[in-house]
Structure 1
Amino acid sequence: MPQTLSVAIGQYSDKGRKELNQDFHAAYVPAEPQLSAKGIVVALADGISSSSVSQVASQMSVKTFLDDYFSTSESWSVKKSGHRVLMATNSWLYSQTRRSQYRYDANKGYVCTFSALIIKSRTAHIFHAGDARIYRLRHNSIEQLTRDHRLQVSSEVSYLSRALGMDSQLELDYASFATEPGDTFLLLTDGAYEFAGDRAIIDSINKHADNLDQAAQAIGELAYANNSDDNITVQILRVDELPNADTEELYQELTQLPFTPPLEPRQHFDGYTIVRQLHASSRSHVYLAVDDDSGANVVIKTPSIDLRDDPAYLERFLMEEWIARRIDSPHVLKAYRATRTRHFVYIVTEYIEGQTLTQWMIDNPEPSLEQVRGIIEQIARGLRALHRLEMLHQDLRPANVMIDSSSTVKLIDFGATHVAGVQEMTSGASHLSILGTAQYTAPEYFLSEPATERSDAFSLAVITYQMLTGQLPYGTAVAKATTRAAQNRLKYQSARDHQPSIPLWVDEALRKALRPYPYRRYDDLSEFLYDLRHPNKALLGTQQPPLLARNPLVFWQSVSAILLVAVIVLASQL
């Protein structure tokens, strides 16, 4: 039977010898689907004794983290989600201090340490700022996973160097670790770990293995008995069971249903009436259908029966609809929400009445520059909608771009799309090095290097070049360049060689967007789009064009003058 993530948690907190407990802690184990999508969270914050409002910061930081982390997009990675939430929390705390009577003394403001542990799938993620600690106990050996952010002035005097709310900018430690069943993680404030030794902590956990709340209390009481003079907070999380490494939730859902039988026009299928086949390949079949309940035209896509034993293919197939459901953009294909139970393996999307960009380019072999700009800018809006959710399309090509009857451009086909948040909970079987079409794929894929948003931007620039010239900037050379040295030898062929009417500054924008090395391209899509409409003097200055291109009149006047001088010299010799 497939396993799910299962943990045991114990917690204890006490004010100790202080008048007020400025620590705050919490843990949350969500139900599915959030358990798989976001994981389990344990967090604590420790206030600073010099501040009378630090306990407010501690409570707010922990509560906000648990609330906001689970509200972030499922497509975001744990790292991005955690960073976004904590940066926002830090800004709020810092602004509260700046608006208070403590604005000139941060040590009395809304400041606290913060440490969090997130277990998602088979990986532990840690966020940390301050001097609380996170430990891992494995095979009766304890290891500190965080470092103390304290500035040691002398053997007796030290200061907290990092904390939430201390500064407008937060420097946060992040790390991730593979976990094993039986791993036990501990989150301790300094009032606990400074007065309870490693051996005593291990013994307490082993003694109370069936009740981790009692184990946490035993550690806290031991620290108090050893004269701890601070608040004491102990959190323990033991990993009892992890998801199967080779079984994905999406794949499980998919294979529980039978494969779709061959479909024919006028056939009634699962509440739809098949109209006609739109496309067929060795990987899938696409049909136009009508929803019998609503009368809406929809597209039904079914997987290839020949690939039913390929888990990587099946995962990617189901992910297409998952992605389409999570993006709200007029320039991205929408999933169709049916109210009926599905009895077969297929996906349903909106029907776009129009044509692919491939067909549009055939019908418009010499488009104007403005037509190209209009289409490319709409494609870029669709890409931005993906990128905002930490998704990379990875197969951007004319065949995967639709233009509807109102000239609205939409991205389709997410079978190769990389989703950071899902990547963290998959086995890796579905993540091949190259999933896109070679002619439009960025060079870094052929070096097995990580893809970035610049990779999608490269594909967009290839499409731009092709629309303007009818050619590809490097032909088939990119796919053959599988080493850095080979890629360094790639030579960009000026778009003006194919279409002299293209402005020089547009050609230079394309040259930059199509550089083989990703970090020499544009940092952002908006920069490329801007340079397609506005001459970039910086680019023109780096690539001096020949005189013929810059000023044809002066060039031919110069040639005529040289020829005239030559004629005069020859005549004088005769």
Structure 2
Amino acid sequence: MVPTQLSLNVGQAFVAPDRRRHRSSMSVRIPDEAGQLTAKGACALISDTSSRNAIAKQAGDLSVRGFLADYFSTPDHWDVKTSATRVLRALNGWCYSQSTFVEDGSYVASLSAMVFRAREAHLFHMGDTLVFRLRGAEFEQLSRDHITDLGGYRYPSRALGLDGSIDIDYLQLPLKQGDIFLFTTQAVRGTLMPSDYVQLIREDASDLDAACERLASAARDRAQSRGYGADQFCFQLVRIDQLPEEGRDHPGRIYGDLPIPPELSPGERIDGLEIQEVLSRTAQSRVYRVRDTRTEREMVMKAPSPELSNRNAYLEHFLLQQWVVERVKSPFVARVMEPSRPRRYLYYLMVYVDGVTLSDWARRHPQASLAQRLDIAIQLGKAVQALHHRDLLHQRIHPDNVLIDTHGQVVLTDFSACHMRDLEGHRRSRELARQLGLSEHSAPEYALDDSVGRRSDQYSLASTVYWLLTDKLPYELAPNQLRGHTDLEQLSYRSARLFNPEITLELDDTLRRALDPQRPLRFRRMSEFLYALRHHDGKGRTAVKSSRLLREPANFWQGIAGILLLLLVLSWLLR
């Protein structure tokens, strides 16, 4: 028996002589794929901006399209509140920053977004847009009006893009079959009464488009009779036609319907995939090289360890790994593969890279030139950049997690410690990395329980590059052996030129800065580090010298003092 799915009916109507000049935007998205509808739900939005905003239409459209695009791209195992809140905060930050470049306008907009998932609705509201629920004969406003009165004009407050930080109203409520939700804007205030809404919607609730047209016509007539503009009304209705069964409110394909694969050996098959080789067995996961018996493709399968069947916390992180591989598009990051058959177990597939680890490559190519090694370093840096662009930290960059294929291209693998970078996640990111085990290339802040971030990955990348160029580590004491902040004094950088005379002063200085034990003293951005690696031959010497002077002020001022003393002696002798 096929389980029932959430089913919605939608209607919309605008009152506007020219839709291109309308300052309101609205939309409903119902995923076609049953799995995405179960995991993410359906979404209805309405956005509105001020009549005095020169780019009102663009601001409204951008807020609606931006939310829909990003919300349905969040990991499936995130709950609705986490996904929507993170998307809205990121969207708010972008709108706020872009408004500074616009004259006579802004990307400020009121926004109400409702996510219908399983048997619940989740409302996220900012500003003064209006959301009502009609249940039976009861007509109730769900949103709050956030309005500021300035000089006789009323403006929305707590709106999207109005400030760098934002307070989001959140309401979670159970759904009933037959519930009707109305989305509209402040322009309708003073036209229709609650009884008018109920009557006009119930007149023929089977056709929601017609119901919206009735609402729009009645609001326009009422506004014109009272002598004010009636060209900015919009109405959107969403009706709950069918709810899924009780107990099926969590994506079954994540936990219930997909068991963890058993222990597998070469020659065994699972979902049409023949195990060719066991690549890795750890306490958390199993990694196999497999062959698809239908397509003959070789791939890499990663699955949770069978001992972790009841550890949902790790399973959630395992699914984040899959999301990383699916969403990060870079030739330098391992790519996901779609199975040729439906999956009956929890795992994901990646492209099989015919190559060797960076550790093996270095052993096989002891005579490789400095240029070859730096090319590998820059490719690896681009891989880390691709993760950072998705606000992800890798946290396990070291030679054994880097593959070099037969064409010399770098592919970054092993996302077991990957974590979303956000203001609240520093502690979780650090704990995850420590749980999986630190390496000699881990940044000092992991061992010292300090905040971690993109510059922590920069340290690990620089340490790996240092090892690639010298076959040594930058410090005699490995950072993962630190026991307290006092141990930082023992981290004295060993010049890479001591082990490889081909390394220029500029390149050594670049590595020194990226490997600074103090995270704030490293390069601000990965792009700055990669630029310095590319210009290791002395180009851009001024910037490098400046950074060296900033980090070694004692030598600089001693030199200045010596020059001044010499000038003083000369002036005395010439009297």
What TM-score bracket applies, with the shorter chain setting the length? 0.5 to 0.7
Check whether the contact 2:48–2:129 (CA below 8 A) recurs between aligned residues: no
Q: Deviations over 1:491-534 (max 9, x none)?
A: 64213178353444333323332345544322221211222334
Query: Is structure 2 residue 433 aligned with structure 1 residue 438?
Result: no
Q: Which moved more, 1:497-506 or 1:282-291?
A: 497-506
Task: Tell me which residue corresponds to 2:493.
Answer: 494
What letter corresponds to residue 229 of structure 1 in structure 2?
A: Y
Task: Tell me which residue corresponds to 2:228.
Answer: 229
What letter corresponds to residue 42 of structure 1 in structure 2?
A: L
Task: Tell me which residue corresponds to 2:572.
Answer: none
Task: Tell me which residue corresponds to 2:24.
Answer: 24
Query: Is structure 2 residue 47 aligned with structure 1 residue 44?
Result: yes
Check whether the contact 1:454–1:521 (CA below 8 A) recurs between aligned residues: yes
Task: Tell me which residue corresponds to 1:78.
Answer: 87
What letter corresponds to residue 392 of structure 2 in structure 1?
A: M
Please state how far the C-alpha of 1:378 moved relative to its aligned partner: 0.8
Q: d(CA) in 2 for partners of 1:428 and 1:247?
A: 30
2:545 to 537, 540, 545: 537
Please state how far the C-alpha of 1:15 moved relative to its aligned partner: 7.2
Q: Deviations over 1:240-267 (max 9, x none)?
A: 9999999863x74354134333333333
The 5-angstrom pairing of residues 296-311 of structure 1 reads: 296-311=297-312
**TM-score, normalising length: structure 1:** 0.67
1:181 to 173, 180, 192: 173
Task: Tell me which residue corresponds to 2:317.
Answer: 316
Please state how far the C-alpha of 1:490 moved relative to its aligned partner: 5.2
Task: Tell me which residue corresponds to 1:329.
Answer: 330
What letter corresponds to residue 411 of structure 1 in structure 2?
A: L
The aligned length equals 506
Please state how far the C-alpha of 1:380 moved relative to its aligned partner: 1.2
Task: Tell me which residue corresponds to 1:370.
Answer: 371
Please state how far the C-alpha of 1:381 moved relative to its aligned partner: 1.3
Please state how far the C-alpha of 1:349 moved relative to its aligned partner: 1.9
Check whether the contact 1:357–1:399 (CA below 8 A) recurs between aligned residues: yes
Q: d(CA) in 1 for partners of 2:408 and 2:419?
A: 28
What letter corresponds to residue 375 of structure 1 in structure 2?
A: I
> How much is the aligned-residue C-alpha RMSD, in angstroms?
5.7
Please state how far the C-alpha of 1:331 moved relative to its aligned partner: 0.9
User: Which fold has the larger relative contact order, with Cα–Cα distance below 8 Å and residues 6 or more apart in sequence?
Assistant: 1
Please state how far the C-alpha of 1:28 moved relative to its aligned partner: 0.9
Task: Tell me which residue corresponds to 2:113.
Answer: 118
Q: Taking structure 1 as reference, are residues 408 and 497 closer, same or farther at Cα in structure 2, changes over 3 Å only?
A: closer
Task: Tell me which residue corresponds to 1:103.
Answer: none
**TM-score, normalising length: structure 2:** 0.67
Task: Tell me which residue corresponds to 2:83.
Answer: none
Q: d(CA) in 1 for partners of 2:413 and 2:53?
A: 57
Q: Deviations over 1:150-204 (max 9, x none)?
A: 7x3x4x468999999xxxx9967744455322599997644345x489xx87998
Check whether the contact 1:438–1:479 (CA below 8 A) recurs between aligned residues: no
Task: Tell me which residue corresponds to 1:286.
Answer: 287
The 5-angstrom pairing of residues 20-419 of structure 1 reads: 22-31=22-31, 32=33, 35=37, 36-37=39-40, 40-46=43-49, 48=51, 58=57, 62-63=60-61, 65-67=63-65, 69-72=67-70, 74-75=73-74, 77-79=86-88, 82=91, 106=104, 114-119=109-114, 125=124, 132-133=128-129, 144=144, 146=146, 148=148, 152=150, 154=151, 156=152, 174-181=166-173, 189-193=185-189, 195=190, 229-231=228-230, 232=233, 249=251, 252-363=253-364, 369-419=370-420
Q: Deviations over 1:400-441 (max 9, x none)?
A: 1111222211011122222579x99xx999977323542344
What letter corresponds to residue 110 of structure 2 in structure 1?
A: S
Check whether the contact 1:401–1:412 (CA below 8 A) recurs between aligned residues: yes
Q: Taking structure 1 as reference, are residues 490 and 186 closer, same or farther at Cα in structure 2, changes over 3 Å only?
A: farther
Q: Taking structure 1 as reference, are residues 6 and 202 closer, same or farther at Cα in structure 2, changes over 3 Å only?
A: farther
Q: Deviations over 1:50-70 (max 9, x none)?
A: 98xx8xx53x65455545554
Q: Taking structure 1 as reference, are residues 408 and 259 closer, same or farther at Cα in structure 2, changes over 3 Å only?
A: same
Check whether the contact 2:421–2:453 (CA below 8 A) recurs between aligned residues: no
1:263 aligned counterpart, secondary structure: coil
Check whether the contact 1:288–1:299 (CA below 8 A) recurs between aligned residues: yes
Task: Tell me which residue corresponds to 1:470.
Answer: 472
Identity %: 23
Please state how far the C-alpha of 1:84 moved relative to its aligned partner: 9.0
Q: d(CA) in 1 for partners of 2:181 and 2:368?
A: 62
Check whether the contact 1:319–1:415 (CA below 8 A) recurs between aligned residues: no
Q: Which moved more, 1:238-247 or 1:530-539?
A: 238-247
Q: d(CA) in 2 for partners of 1:243 and 1:78?
A: 29
Check whether the contact 2:124–2:169 (CA below 8 A) recurs between aligned residues: yes
Q: d(CA) in 1 for partners of 2:145 and 2:16?
A: 25
Check whether the contact 2:332–2:380 (CA below 8 A) recurs between aligned residues: yes
Q: Taking structure 1 as reference, are residues 366 and 488 closer, same or farther at Cα in structure 2, changes over 3 Å only?
A: farther
Unaligned runs of 5+ in 1: 99-105, 552-574
Q: Taking structure 1 as reference, are residues 157 and 203 closer, same or farther at Cα in structure 2, changes over 3 Å only?
A: closer
Q: Deviations over 1:470-489 (max 9, x none)?
A: 2254844456467xxx2894
Q: Which moved more, 1:171-180 or 1:369-378?
A: 171-180
Please state how far the C-alpha of 1:398 moved relative to its aligned partner: 1.9
Q: d(CA) in 2 for partners of 1:146 and 1:381?
A: 44
Check whether the contact 1:42–1:116 (CA below 8 A) recurs between aligned residues: yes
Q: Taking structure 1 as reference, are residues 464 and 248 closer, same or farther at Cα in structure 2, changes over 3 Å only?
A: farther
Q: d(CA) in 2 for partners of 1:463 and 1:208?
A: 66
